Amino acid sequence: MEHKSIPLNERIIFALDVKSKEEAKKWIDLLGNHINFYKVGLQLFLAEWFPVIEMITERGHKVMVDLKFFDVPETVKLAIRQLRNRNITFATVHGNDPILRAAVQEKKDIKILSVTVLTSYGEEDMEEMGFSGTIEDLVFSRARRALKLGCDGVVSSGLEASRLRETLGDGFLIVTPGIRPGKNIEISEDDQTRIVTAQDAIKNGADYVVVGRPIREANDPVAVVESMQSEIQKGLAA
């Protein structure tokens, strides 16, 4: 497996799951010398809209807009159009072929990431929703379709990354949430199910890891970032 040439300070995408632009700015002030990539999700985007994205990009950092667009294709197409020309690096879309196709048609300079299966889901959730196969099979099926439609990559847990890389190659991005530290750090109300360490995610083929609570809830957030970056280096060398 050939790892992509990505700066270490961009391998961790820090999840700005906070309630205001002011709180987001405090985290960027703290981590900005260590992390150059930030995720804006539903909570922060709905609170602040595009000004928070401008605040991040004007400071020279990259942004992943994680809104998981899922709607009729024309609506998704118009939503992606609103993201263009704002220096946004990644945007996430969650849907069937027509939805993904609509997003790809409008992406321009944005990389579209298809969400495969949320990392909070376990096998029992698949059964409740009526899926007869395994999560890994569903992730693989959705990833393969997304890439054929022109998506630039996928969001998947590190548990499925190995199969995706081995079967689908190195020519696409894998962004992996559900990351937990190699050392024991307690996470409050942890709703993630399919979790791995940063080292294992990268070793399995992920290009980026999305990390929020393990850093935000740490006594020394910078130390956790540095520890995870060390794990990532080990994963790259494996």
pLDDT in the model for residue 159: 87
Rounded Cα gap, residues 146 and 65, in angstroms: 18
User: Quick one: which of 80, 158, 150 has its CA closest to 117?
Assistant: 158
Rounded Cα gap, residues 36 and 57, in angstroms: 10
Residue/partner pairs of 93-96 with CB below 8 Å, 24 or more apart:
93/68, 93/69, 93/151, 94/68, 94/69, 94/70, 95/69, 95/70, 95/71
Across the strands, what pairs with 131?
Answer: none
pLDDT in the model for residue 185: 44
The residue type found at 141 is S
Exposure string (b/e) for 73-112, b if CB count within 10 Å is 16 or more? beebbebbeebeeebbbbbbbbbeeebbbbbbbbbeebbb
The bridge status of strand 153-155 relative to strand 12-15 is unpaired
User: Quick one: which of 31, 99, 105, 26 has its CA closest to 67?
Assistant: 99
> Which residues have a Cβ under 8 Å from the Cβ of 140 and sit 6 or more positions away?
160, 163, 164, 167
> Distance from CA of residue 214 to its chain's centroid?
15
pTM of the predicted protein model: 0.90
144 and 159 in contact (C-beta within 8 Å)?
A: no
Rounded Cα gap, residues 12 and 122, in angstroms: 24
> Which residues have a Cβ under 8 Å from the Cβ of 49 and sit 6 or more positions away?
none
Phi-psi region of 96 (alpha: psi -120 to 50; beta: other; left: phi over 0): beta
Which tokens is 143 given?
Answer: 């990833």
CATH number given to 8-237: 3.20.20.70
Render each residue's pLDDT in the chain as its tens digit; 238 residues: 678 889 999 999 999 999 999 999 999 999 999 999 999 999 999 999 999 999 999 999 999 999 999 999 999 999 999 999 999 999 999 989 999 999 999 999 999 999 987 766 555 655 566 666 787 888 899 999 999 999 999 999 888 899 999 999 999 999 999 898 765 444 444 445 577 899 999 999 999 999 999 999 999 999 999 999 999 999 999 7
Active site residues: 68
pLDDT in the model for residue 131: 65
User: Quick one: which of 20, 49, 8, 5 has its CA closest to 170?
Assistant: 5
Rounded Cα gap, residues 232 and 204, in angstroms: 11
